[in-house]
A and B are shown apart, each in its own frame.
Chain A
Amino acid sequence: MRQLCKGNVAIVKGAVLAGCKAYYGYPITPASEIAEYAALLIPEVGGTFIQAESEVSAINMVYGASSAGQRVMSASSGPGLSLMQEGISYMAGAELPGVIVDVVRGGPGLGNIAPEQSDYFCVVKGGGHGCYRNLVLAPGSVQEMFDLTVLAFDLADRYRNPVVIMTDGYIGQMMEPLEIKLRNVEPPAKDWAVKGTAETKNLISSIVLEPDDLERHVRKLEAKYQLAQELESRCETYLTEDAEILLVGFGIVSRVLRTAVDQLRAQGMKAGLFRPITLWPFPSRELCETAKNVKQVLAVELSTGMMVEDVKLTLNGSVPVEYYGRVGGNVPSAEEITAQVFARMAAHV
């Protein structure tokens, strides 16, 4: 089933295919279409849509529905994600699955409604309190908005943890062909869920008062995150086999970088692209392997330098890492990237 589809709409269609039966949210540009289409589609498949009075309320509704074993989601943009942090931390603490979409817009504060990737620290490093992690997926196309949403629900249930789809106002708003392969998705049985029956005595809570008990709980979460780091990192590479210059970027930036790689190759420079698809776990093993014979790395992002920290941590000084970024809703052109590569890197190669 091939169709022309907007990125935000593809998210909702992916959620419906994944068996999501509950959406709680509050509209915010540039994520509003997710709430709009969830209101249209989720009730059609027998689910519940509620426009909450705020994002704080929405995320706690997500907590409640998830406790009851439903596949549940919410979506917002920067200001709303900030409000959700407490609830996300509670979900991680209570080991509740849930999918949260962040269509990143310009910040800080009210900022504007144009695309940025500046929620990286908030989402990838865990904007809430305590020792927890979000699994974070970064789609690079409308097709991936759909595919990674289906994956997000699977990962959330597998790890009993919040999964954030971190996209941007660009991919959320653009329209591209979307291929939907219809299939039956059976959400897993959840014997831990609260059923409201006398037989099940499950308790969902994130409070653990005894220090030793809490340490045990946090170590259990940590073991889960280590497993996710081993199994779930995903990335895409483009022309990296013989690359001397490696461009690193995710989301909409990776699309620009791909063109920049082509332009650089046409001018005789051996450039390649590394695109993290999971931002947490960051594809460190894959990046190390890809950058083995690389002479220079340029991390490009729509922020003042956030992902570049993970690139540097990963490569640990083995390769010089440079950063280039635009903010405020500006997205660099391929020509701009190419010029940056020539200006600051050509001399080193």
Chain B
Amino acid sequence: MSAQPRGNVIIDPEECKGCGLCVESCPPECLELAPELSPYGVHPAQYTGEDCTGCGACFYCCPEPGAITVERLTPPAKTSDPAVAQKEKVSHEAAL
């Protein structure tokens, strides 16, 4: 795991239907299907918690609007405070 994570994935297990497209699409292979079932009877995708680069491939291939949110955590400049890392959400508006 790199010292400064570049991205983060938030998956809503209420929306995920467990198709696995995001797991297959993830370049750093940091997504997986949860071993336990969701209330809807599917194995929802989950983030392993490490290695997300914020590329957004999972967001774009997901067929469920609202199931996946990707946060891009821009690495701060060497001299700046890590606390001011800018968050850029991959939103549907940006996808237009």
The interface of chain A, by Cβ under 8 A from chain B, is: 6, 9, 27, 29-30, 32-33, 36-37, 40, 113-114, 169, 172-173, 175
Contacts and interface: CB of A to CB of B under 8 A. Distances in A.
Interface stretch (B29-37, B47-55, B56-64, B79-87): B56-64
Contact of A173 (B63, B93, B96): B63
Contact of A33 (B17, B19, B21, B65): B65
A169 B63 contact: yes
A30 B63 contact: yes
Contacts of A32: 63-65
Contacts of A6: 60
7 contacts: A32-B64, A33-B65, A36-B65, A37-B92, A113-B19, A114-B19, A172-B63
Contact of B64 (A9, A29, A172): A29
Interface of B: 17, 19, 21, 60-61, 63-65, 92-93, 95-96
A175 B56 CA distance: 13
A29 B63 CA distance: 6
A36 B95 CA distance: 12
A113 B17 contact: yes
Given A40-B92, A113-B17, A113-B19, A33 B63 contact: yes
Given A40-B96, A113-B63, A173-B61, 11 more contacts: A6-B60, A9-B95, A27-B65, A29-B19, A32-B65, A36-B92, A40-B92, A113-B17, A114-B19, A173-B21, A175-B61
Main secondary structure of the interface of A (DSSP, over half): helix
Contacts, number: 30
Nearest to A3: B96
A175 B59 CA distance: 12
Contacts of A9: 95
A30 B21 CA distance: 12
Contacts of B92: 36-37, 40
Contacts of B96: 40
Contact of B60 (A30, A37, A113, A175): A175
Nearest to B21: A173
Contacts of A114: 19
Contacts of B65: 27, 32-33, 36
A41 to B, nearest CB: 8
A9 B61 CA distance: 12
A173 B21 CA distance: 10
Nearest to A32: B65
Contacts of B21: 173
A33 B67 CA distance: 12
Nearest to A27: B65
Contacts of A113: 17, 19, 63
A173 B17 CA distance: 15
Q: Rank and list the top 6 A-B pairs by shortest CB-CB distance, nearest first.
A: A36-B65, A30-B63, A29-B63, A32-B65, A173-B63, A113-B19
A303 to B, nearest CB: 20
Nearest to B66: A36
B11 to A, nearest CB: 15
A121 B40 CA distance: 30
Contacts of A173: 21, 61, 63
B51 to A, nearest CB: 23
A29 B60 contact: no
B70 to A, nearest CB: 15
Contacts of B95: 9
Contacts of A172: 63
A330 B64 CA distance: 20
B61 A29 contact: no
A192 B65 CA distance: 38
Contacts of B61: 173, 175
